[in-house]
Structure 1
Amino acid sequence: MKIFKSCLLVAIIVILSACESQPKVTWVSSTDTNTWVNKTYKQQANTSNAVISIDIDIAKQKQEITGFGGCFNELGWEALNVVSSEEKQQILNDLFSQEDGCKFSVFRMPIGANDYAVDWYSHNETPEDFEMVNFSIDRDKKRLIPYIKEAQKINPDISVWASPWCPPSWMKHSKHYACKSNPKFNDLPIEFSSTEELVSRFIMEPKYLESYALYFSKFVQAYKAEGIDISAVHVQNEYNSAQNFPSCVWKPQDLGIFIADYLGPKFKSENIDSEIWLGTVERPQIERVSDILEYKNTKDYVKGVGFQWAGKGAIEAVHAKYPEMELMQTETECGDGSNDWKAAEYTFNLMKHYFENGANSYMYWNMVLDETGKSQWGWKQNSMISIDRTTKEVTYNPEFYLMKHLSAFVAPGSVKLATTGDTDNAIIFYNEAENEVVILAYNNAEENSELKLNVNNQEINALLDAKSFNSIAISL
């Protein structure tokens, strides 16, 4: 009997030891046809034919992650108001909830109209009102501010940054919001239509520059009065691009003049605590960044640099030249409204590129649009969620789940890890506060593939579904 009890005790100890050695793993997987599936992790025996093998050392830390989010646009708010209040609340929770939503925390908004505004406007269209007497954000109280307020109700700690697509039209040589004439969408006279880059459309005279700096200051202060702190301003959306929608091309050196001689000193003199960022960069040439930052003391005012579209070609060089600068992916490429799995695959590769080259944060573009996906200037684009105006049907597109795979698992304050092995389709982060490693992995194969992770000498094996995004959190 004593022998039996001794054997039973040994068996219990062995079982308990095995349970204790089993790592705590949270795993969610999505395929095109089966999204956000909670997987039960079971430690598997080692195999020698692992398709994806990655070694992870939490000591090899890179940049800190500050957050993820999307853009508050007028047409997004219009789409949300198509559905019932209950459905609208569910969508808002799915985006902003810190419990079971995407846990978004950093957001973009326009200063005045962009390509997803209902129509053209700025906050002061009174010609030569250099003192900004007629400055007003009343237009924003109809759509953008209610949109932001709904997000604040769910997460009071959201951070909102803002960028203009176009200054007040009277500050441009053309006196028009567009830079490129298109009779279908604007009435810009053909003599002012040009796609030439490196030539400022802004009137580079001191009284205009001073007034534009005041415009930014008024904007930040007006939003603060509404209970919305603008964490940062990016001085110009895509400052190289002449569009048929609101836009303004700047010569890089002229943007340096505006920041160093006008905007920076204005914010400093008025104790505006919003950061100034150089953004958004949409060209691959580093000179279009350095020519701005190297003007006088521009770097003293600029906190970070934001990139989108072809700007992804500049981020590596900018990170190397200005390692002290924070970096942001400001507008994930929006495609042409396909809203399909192929678009999500493309976005995953963008995420991989940006985080491997120093990005601290990642922004989606339109979180919500109607079924057309079209801007008022004719471009059909992707969105995380689509709402049909006729049927009221709500569709969560593949990129919704991809963004959630990232943002719901990687908490602000986490760090990107440098890893070795088969990392082409994986991005790895470490959250010191939770002592947790998070892997965002994409199995791009047409068949199931084994993922083998060596995390601080602890082995994790998981069988990934074919063509699946996977978020795997490992508590150490």
Structure 2
Amino acid sequence: MTTWICTTPDKPWQDHSGSLANAADSDSNLQLTDTRDQTILGFGGCFNELGWEALSWLDPDQRDQIIRDLFDPEDGCRFSFCRVPIGASDYAVSWYSHNETEGDLDMNAFNIDRDHQYLIPYIKAAIAQQPDLRLFASPWSPPTWMKQPKAYNYGTLVWNEQNLKAYALYLLKFVQAYQQLGLDVRQVHVQNEPNSDQKFPSCLWKPEQFAEFIGDYLGPLFERENNPCEIWAGTIERPGYDTWPNRILSDAKAQRYVAGLGFQWAGKGAVQTTHLAWPDVPIIQTENECGDGQNTWDYARYVFSLIHHYMINGTCAYTYWNMVLPAGGRSTWGWLQNSMITVDPETRAVTYQPEFYVMKHLTRFIDNGATRRGLAGPLAGNALAFENPGGSTTLLIANPSDNPRTLAVDINGQSLSATLPAQSFNTIVA
């Protein structure tokens, strides 16, 4: 059985399976090659406080439907690998950490009470639909008393042994607290965008500091505690291979503990070289670029190009940023951002934006454990192929042209032809 789902600007998620035709193999303009690359770890988004606040405006049936559409493993986007902030992200309702008791190096006052208000209900609602949900976590800022200056935004971690030991313990306690609730935190990433001094929660690091913290403090602590959560060198937002990833991985102590690398934003410029240089080190994309709150079709096309870039360069996961936001996507600090789904704060109207369908095209028919297949031919620049563990092959292909375009491809012994509508995203499974 073959499936073809198509999305155009005015007709999202249409079943065109009946329009697939047979094609002569010699006519193919897209070929699957024998090349096999990364194995897919999963796809998902980030749990942010403003998303749950928007969902809380809705009646339970509406809210449950949105959660199903994002997480249901049968009919939804099937999200199964998602990000959670450690303390406030830039899309928190207000800024906080899990321990603001100054000088508490033993973390006796550590707690996740705040997360029970927004993030944990959001995650538990997702788990009700997707029991196999796995999480990766990252801080935007350490507790303020551990920084110079003592503020959530800007600044650096105070670099001395007692502070570094305490901060490693802080991260461990977060992972343990979530694990005790049955929330499966598989990875901890050291710092969100460590080379960006932001007006929202942030903290500046140098790559040598990343390596020292992982190799001398965080890694040994998780090892002593026998905690299964992996330590990842993320989330890197700079393009230079030698600037961040190579410096971290070339440190022998750090390399022992680094299970993988996370990249976002301009970090996309380092993905290809990093994968070539360290092919056995897994790479994930950790944050989808967020747009300007307009949620246009053109930006959805850009998101598809991001997915294509990360996937052809070896990433094994792709993570959307804000899954749900109020219409306009305004943060508490004034930035406007896109989201997959918006909720109007006055009318409570729910809108599924173009990027919802881009992500669903990626996630709906690509299973965890799928292997990316190589492609060749004139249409390969806008296409991705994955071989699922069960044997089916999923082809994801865009037609960004203003005119229809004919696709002819051989998949699993079937020579298929389809006329891809203008300005369309398409998923074909055979």
Q: In 1, distance between residues paired with 2:381 and 2:204? A: 36
Between structure 1 and structure 2, the one with the greater Rg is 1
| Pairs within 5 Å for 1:446-461 | 446-455=402-411, 458-461=414-417
Give the Cα–Cα distance (whole angstroms) in 1 for the partners of residues 275 and 10 of structure 2: 38
Q: 2:405, 2:419 → 1: CA distance?
A: 6
For 2:22 and 2:4, how far apart are their aligned partners in 1?
Answer: 18
The 5 Å alignment of 1:406-445 reads 406-422=362-378, 423-431=380-388, 433-445=389-401
* Alpha-carbon distance in structure 2 between the residues aligned to 1:459 and 1:270: 54
CA contact 2:153–2:198 (8 Å) conserved in 1: yes
Structure-1 residue corresponding to 2:315: 359
Compare 272-281 and 33-42 and name the one that shifted more: 33-42
Describe how 1:64-463 pairs up with structure 2 within 5 A: 64-179=39-154, 201-287=156-242, 288-422=244-378, 423-431=380-388, 433-455=389-411, 458-463=414-419
Superposed displacement of residue 293, structure 1:
2.2
Aligned partners of 2:258 and 2:203: how far apart in 1?
20
Report deviation, 1:43: 5.2
Q: Deviations over 1:341-363 (max 9, x none)?
A: 11110001001100110000100
**Alpha-carbon shift at residue 462 of structure 1 (Å):** 0.7
Structure 1 residues 151 and 48: alpha-carbon distance in aligned structure 2, compared to 1, 3 A threshold: closer
1:289 CA drift (Å)? 1.6
Query: In structure 1, what residue type is equivalent to 2:235?
Result: T
- 3-state SS in 2 of match to 1:93: helix
Q: Which residue of 2 aligns with 1:28?
A: 5
CA–CA separation in structure 1 for the residues paired with 2:130 and 2:23: 43
Deviation at 1:41, TM superposition (A): 3.1
Opposite residue 158 of structure 2, the aligned amino acid is: I
- What's the offset of the Cα at 1:40? 2.8
- Counterpart code for 2:245: V
Shift of 1:443: 1.0
Amino acid at match of 2:202: S
Aligned with residue 16 of structure 2, among 18, 32, 39: 39
Contact 2:393 2:412 in 1 (8 A): no
Name the CA distance, whole Å, in 2 between partners of 1:56 and 1:49. 13
CA offset digits 1:28-54 (Å, max 9, x no partner): 10011000101133553648997x810
Q: Which amino acid aligns with 2:317?
A: S
Shift of 1:455: 2.8
Identical-pair percentage: 48
CA distance in 2, matches of 1:143, 1:263: 27
TM-score (norm 2): 0.97
Instruction: Say if 1:55 and 1:421, in contact at 8 Å, map to a contact too.
Output: yes
Using the TM superposition, give the Cα deviation of residue 456 of structure 1 relative to its aligned residue in structure 2, in angstroms: 5.2
Give CA deviations for 1:361-418 in whole Å, capped at 9, x if unaligned: 1000000000130111111000000000101100000000010011001011111101
d(CA) in 2 for partners of 1:131, 1:42: 64
Q: Show the counterpart of 1:198.
A: none
CA distance in structure 2 between the aligned counterparts of 1:407 and 1:140, rounded to whole angstroms = 27
**Structure 1: runs of 5 or more not aligned:** 1-23, 180-191, 193-200
SS at match of 1:471: strand
Take 2:425 and 2:42, find their aligned partners in 1: how far apart are those partners? 20
Q: Take 1:231 and 1:427, find their aligned partners in 2: how far apart are those partners?
A: 27
Aligned residues: 428
Residues 222 and 39 of structure 1: CA distance in aligned 2, closer, same or farther (over 3 Å) = same
C-alpha contact (below 8 Å) 2:4/2:20 kept by paired residues: no
Whether the 8 Å CA contact 1:276–1:303 is kept in 2: the answer is yes
**Mapped partners of 2:199, 2:20: distance in 1:** 56
CA distance in 2, matches of 1:203, 1:251: 13
Contact 1:281 1:307 in 2 (8 A): yes
Q: Retained in 2: the 8 A contact 1:110–1:162?
A: yes
User: Structure 1: which amino acid aligns with 2:164?
Assistant: L
- Preserved CA contact (<8 Å) 1:385 1:394: yes
CA distance in 1, matches of 2:98, 2:19: 57
- Other structure's SS at 1:418 match: strand
Provide, for residues 76-103 of structure 1, a one-character-per-residue CA deviation record: whole Å limited to 9, x for no partner. Answer: 0000011111100100000010111000
Determine the structure 2 residue equivalent to 1:21.
Answer: none
Distance 1:350 1:397 in 2: 17
The separation in 2 between residues aligned to 1:49 and 1:34, in whole angstroms, is: 32
* 8 A Cα contact 1:305 1:325, kept in partner: yes
- Determine if contact 2:324/2:342 at 8 Å carries over to the other structure: yes
In the TM superposition, what is the alpha-carbon distance from 1:458 to its structure 2 partner? 3.4
SS in 1 for 2:29: strand
Q: Deviations over 1:122-146 (max 9, x none)?
A: 0001111101011010000111011
- Per-residue CA deviation, residues 182-224 of structure 1 (Å, 9 max, x unaligned), is xxxxxxxxxx7xxxxxxxx111100000000100111111111
**How far did 1:237 drift?**
0.4
**Cα contact 1:25–1:41 (8 A) shared by 2:** no
Contact 1:41 1:462 in 2 (8 A): no
Q: Provide the C-alpha distance between the structure 1 equivalents of 2:185 and 2:22, rounded to a whole number of angstroms.
A: 52
- Mapped partners of 2:335, 2:387: distance in 1: 38
CA contact (8 A) 1:56 1:456 kept: no
- Structure 2 runs not aligned, ≥5 long: none
Partner residue in 2 for 1:4: none
The one-letter amino acid paired with 1:332 is: N
Instruction: Verify the 8 A CA contact 1:286 1:317 in the aligned structure 2.
Output: yes
CA distance in 2, matches of 1:346, 1:107: 21
